[in-house]
């Protein structure tokens, strides 16, 4: 077993060697610009791009003509949200999203508020799920867009897309989903789920970084205003020369996800359960954040009470994970996603996200369990909070010298 | 965030982790910080009849820098008089551990912990007449 062990698959994934292999020729001998119509260099590049477009479309059961290429899910989210809002502002100025969206969605919405739009940020339940009745009740005659993520990056919770889609369709509101974490991991069907716009990222699904896609429905046609101006590529929605090697990589990554999803999901789920049980069996005062059923197979977000997250990460430095602790960011605020679930600040500081994926092995899981349990026990021995709890002191009754 | 070697060294081999008897009149206990802020430090000192700190123990809930700051402080104050211990400033701790700006609050907390422990000790010496 090689150290360090990568367990941060929601942050990014390695490019699958099979993906890399099909990309390589498109950097060197097949370097043509897919927009060049006058010679075979351009023609073969265009063919490769169209093949990839089909592979991506198939993953979400869309038509290839509904896929446009972007630099990643952040750009896709920006095009979708800004593009829909600005195009349809004569019809309405209201947008609905949730408080646990990725910053790419939240920040785009915040920006729109400065352009005069009104945004409703819906809360989620303690398990991270959106109450679809609340969503339905929040739609007004001014609402033009609902944006709800497919799966959350921190807690892996999968939202009821089909139910949300049905509500949006019935009310004539565009439905966008940020599927950076969901596409390729959960079954997605733009028809069955009534999706109008879907953001996809390459590097979360074993494809290259710097490439993503946006699904934009054709029937009924979804119209949006571009945010990038230039040569009118991608039906005018996203100008800029298409990066053929990256696109070929994204296409192949989607094809592999589609082929391997059932078996891979089961395998990863078994690994997660093994890890969950291994830790819970040996440690007390441990809680899992987010729903355990409606959840990505490869996400395990755990709070280890009385052990600060960053110090735990240092103690398990051979395992690459991330933390909801404030200390991992410059902001000093603990994870806004965990806070939105009602996890108190104290516990939010003690959370670790383990992200499992395609290349995670059972040996790695067993090693991680061992290391984590040992580290938590050691740090609890060093924790004044743990000591107080052992003495029967209720920490909520203590008056802390907040600083 | 990549850590400075001195922080790592203290974090991996923390000095003086543990507890002293908080009911001992020679022991002063300081507890600073809050769980909601992500760090709580408990620092205990035992002061001998010559006014010298002859033992110090800590327990800390917090990031690596907070643990290293507490560990360093216990090492520094042992063998010092109370006044010498009070002369330790957060700047000294931050400098010694080369803490980045975002971690300066850990050194502030460690300085506060010394004050708080001394205060508790002095209160006990006065027979608890100033107890709240």
Check residue B132 and give its pLDDT.
44
**DSSP assignment of A195-255:** -SEEEEESTTTTS-TT-EEEEE-TTTTP----SS-SS-TGGGTS-S---HHHHHHHHHHHH
Question: Which 292-311 residues of chain A touch chain B by CB within 8 A?
Answer: 306-308, 310-311
Please report where in the chains the tokens 């360093």 appear, as a residue.
B72
Alpha-carbon distance of A214 to A199, in angstroms, equals 5
Residue B129, in any domain of the structure: no
Q: How many domains does the structure of chain B reveal?
A: 1
**Which of B38, B71, B113 is the mutation pick for testing A, counting most A CBs within 10 A?**
B38
In this predicted structure, the answer to whether residue B131 has a pLDDT above a threshold of 50 is: no
Taking each helix axis from N to C end, the angle separating A244-282 and A362-381, rounded to the nearest 10 degrees, works out to 50
Considering only CB atoms, B59 lies closest to which of A314, A344, A383, namely A383
Alpha-carbon distance of A68 to A215, in angstroms, equals 6
Considering only CB atoms, B31 lies closest to which of A314, A325, A384, namely A384
Per-domain residue ranges of chain A: 5-9+261-397, 17-257
Check residue A325 and give its pLDDT.
64
Alpha-carbon distance of A341 to A324, in angstroms, equals 13
Query: For each of chain A's 403 residues, which pLDDT tens digit applies?
Result: 999 999 999 999 999 999 999 999 999 999 999 999 999 999 999 999 999 999 999 999 999 999 999 999 999 999 999 999 999 999 999 999 999 999 999 999 999 999 999 999 999 999 999 999 999 999 999 999 999 999 999 999 999 999 999 999 999 999 999 999 999 999 999 999 999 999 999 999 999 999 999 999 999 999 999 999 999 999 999 999 999 999 999 999 999 999 999 999 999 999 999 999 999 999 999 999 999 999 999 999 999 999 999 999 999 999 999 987 655 555 567 899 999 999 998 899 999 999 999 999 999 999 999 999 999 999 999 999 999 999 999 998 888 876 5
Whether A327 sits among the annotated catalytic residues: the reply is yes
Alpha-carbon distance of A56 to A67, in angstroms, equals 8
Residues B75/B9, Cβ–Cβ less than 8 Å: no
Residue B98 belongs to what domain range?
Answer: 5-123
Residues A176/A147, Cβ–Cβ less than 8 Å: yes
Helix (H) or strand (E) holding B44: strand B39-47
Alpha-carbon distance of A119 to A98, in angstroms, equals 10
User: Would you call A35 an interface residue with chain B, using a CB distance cutoff of 8 Å?
Assistant: no
Please judge whether A311 and B66 are an interchain contact, meaning their C-beta atoms are less than 8 angstroms apart.
yes
Residue B73, in any domain of the structure: yes
The dihedrals phi and psi of A12, each to the nearest 5 degrees, come to -165, 170
Cβ partners under 8 Å of residue B22, min gap 6 = B29, B44
At B50, which CATH number? 3.90.1010.10
> Nearest C-alpha of chain B: how many angstroms from A400?
5
In CATH, A17-257 is 3.30.70.100: no
Check residue B3 and give its pLDDT.
77
How many Cβ contacts (< 8 angstroms) between chains A and B?
A: 88
Residue B18, in any domain of the structure: yes
User: Would you call A344 an interface residue with chain B, using a CB distance cutoff of 8 Å?
Assistant: yes
How does pLDDT run across B65-115, given as a tens digit for each residue?
999 999 999 999 999 999 999 999 999 999 999 999 989 999 999 999 999
**Nearest 5°: CA angle at A202, between A199 and A206?**
135
How does pLDDT run across B28-37, given as a tens digit for each residue?
999 999 998 8
Please judge whether A308 and B38 are an interchain contact, meaning their C-beta atoms are less than 8 angstroms apart.
yes
Q: HEC profile for A95-147?
A: EEEECCCCHHHHHHHHHHHHCCCEEEEECCCCCCCCCHHHHHHHCCCCEEEEE
Contacts of B108 in chain A (CB under 8 A): 403
Residue B116, in any domain of the structure: yes
The dihedrals phi and psi of B30, each to the nearest 5 degrees, come to -120, 135
Please judge whether B37 and A402 are an interchain contact, meaning their C-beta atoms are less than 8 angstroms apart.
yes
b/e burial code for range A214-253 (CB count within 10 A of at least 16 → b)? bbbbeeeebebebbbeeeebbeebbeeebbbbbbbbbbbb
User: Would you call A394 an interface residue with chain B, using a CB distance cutoff of 8 Å?
Assistant: no
Contacts of A307 in chain B (CB under 8 A): 61
Which residue in chain A has the smallest CA separation from B100? A330
Residue B128, in any domain of the structure: no
Considering only CB atoms, B38 lies closest to which of A314, A327, A383, namely A327
At residue B1 the predicted structure's pLDDT band, cuts being 50, 70 and 90, is low
Please report where in the chains the tokens 């699958």 appear, as a residue.
A16
Residues A118/A142, Cβ–Cβ less than 8 Å: yes
Which listed CATH number (3.40.50.720, 3.90.1150.10, 3.90.120.10, 3.30.1490.100) goes with A5-9+261-397?
3.90.1150.10
């Amino acid at each position: 077993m090689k150290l360090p062990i990568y367990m941060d698959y929601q942050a990014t994934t390695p490019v699958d060697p099979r993906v890399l292999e099909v990309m390589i020729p498109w950097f060197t001998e097949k370097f043509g610009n897919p927009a060049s119509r006058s010679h075979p260099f351009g023609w073969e590049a265009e063919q490769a791009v169209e093949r990839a477009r089909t592979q991506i479309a198939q993953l979400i059961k869309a038509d290839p003509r509904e896929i446009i290429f972007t630099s990643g899910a952040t750009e896709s989210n920006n095009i979708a949200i800004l593009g829909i809002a600005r195009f349809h502002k004569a019809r309405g100025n209201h947008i609905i999203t949730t408080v646990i969206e990725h910053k790419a969605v939240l920040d785009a919405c915040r920006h729109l508020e400065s352009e005069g739009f009104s945004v409703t940020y819906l809360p989620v339940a303690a398990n991270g799920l959106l109450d679809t009745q609340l969503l339905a009740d929040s739609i007004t005659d001014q609402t033009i867009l609902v944006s709800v993520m497919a799966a959350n990056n921190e807690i892996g919770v999968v939202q009821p897309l089909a139910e949300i889609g049905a509500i949006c369709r019935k009310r004539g509101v565009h439905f966008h989903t940020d599927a950076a974490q969901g596409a390729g991991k959960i079954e997605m069907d733009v028809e069955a789920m009534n999706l109008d716009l879907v953001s996809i990222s390459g590097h979360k699904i074993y494809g290259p970084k710097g490439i993503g896609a946006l699904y934009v429905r054709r029937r009924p046609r979804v119209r949006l205003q571009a945010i990038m101006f230039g040569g009118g590529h991608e039906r005018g929605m996203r100008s800029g020369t298409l990066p053929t090697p990256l696109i070929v990589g994204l296409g192949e990554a989607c094809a592999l996800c589609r082929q391997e999803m059932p078996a891979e999901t089961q395998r990863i789920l078994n690994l997660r359960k093994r890890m969950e049980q291994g830790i819970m069996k040996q440690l007390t005062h441990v809680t899992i954040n987010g729903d355990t059923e409606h959840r990505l197979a490869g996400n395990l977000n755990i709070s280890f009470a009385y052990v600060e997250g960053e110090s735990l990460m240092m103690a398990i430095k051979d395992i690459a994970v991330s933390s909801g602790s404030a200390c991992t960011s410059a902001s000093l605020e603990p994870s806004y996603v965990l806070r939105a679930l009602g996890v108190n600040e104290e516990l939010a500081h003690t959370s670790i996200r383990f992200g499992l994926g395609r290349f995670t092995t059972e040996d790695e899981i067993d090693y991680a369990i061992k290391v984590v349990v040992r580290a938590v026990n050691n740090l609890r021995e060093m924790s004044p909070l743990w000591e107080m709890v052992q003495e029967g002191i209720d920490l909520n009754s203590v008056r802390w010298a907040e600083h | 965030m990549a850590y400075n070697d001195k922080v790592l060294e203290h974090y991996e081999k923390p000095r003086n982790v543990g507890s002293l008897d908080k009911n001992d009149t020679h022991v002063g206990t300081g507890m600073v910080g809050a769980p909601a802020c992500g760090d709580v430090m408990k620092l205990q000192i035992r002061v001998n009849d010559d006014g010298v700190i002859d033992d110090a123990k800590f327990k800390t809930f917090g990031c690596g820098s907070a643990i290293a700051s507490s560990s360093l402080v216990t090492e520094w104050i042992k063998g010092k008089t109370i006044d010498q211990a009070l002369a330790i400033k957060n700047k000294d701790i931050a400098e010694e551990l080369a803490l980045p700006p975002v971690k300066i609050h850990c050194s502030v907390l460690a300085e506060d912990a010394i004050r708080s422990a001394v205060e508790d000790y002095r209160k006990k010496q006065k027979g608890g007449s100033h107890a709240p």
